[in-house]
Amino acid sequence: MRPRDTSPEAWKVLIDLIRQMTPEERLQRCLELSDAVRLAAEAGLRETYPHASEREIFLRAARQKLGPELFQAVYGNALDGNGPA
């Protein structure tokens, strides 16, 4: 689905470029984009919690990814300082 801020011509160019990639290149791009999204999310957490340790940033990112119920099951009350860390 083409984003609203992208012209049909630009979208066609992008799709054509993607179609020319090998499966390995597509996977590599996917992994790079995944890393970029993770780093952006962590940067947002660092901005929101400027005094947080790296462990706290890790835990807050895990809670965002896992959701509160699964996070609780895996990490307990780690963000409160009372659970497994």
Is 84 a residue whose pLDDT tops 80?
A: no
Band of pLDDT at residue 43, cut at 50, 70 and 90: very high
Residue boundaries of the structural domains of the chain: 9-80
Burial 40-51 (b: 16+ CB within 10 A, else e): eebeebeeeeee
Q: How far apart are CA 58 and CA 41, in angstroms?
A: 11
Structure tokens at 59: 């835990």
Band of pLDDT at residue 54, cut at 50, 70 and 90: very high
Q: How far apart are CA 14 and CA 8, in angstroms?
A: 10
Is 30 a residue whose pLDDT tops 90?
A: yes
Tell me the pTM: 0.73
Q: How far apart are CA 67 and CA 72, in angstroms?
A: 9
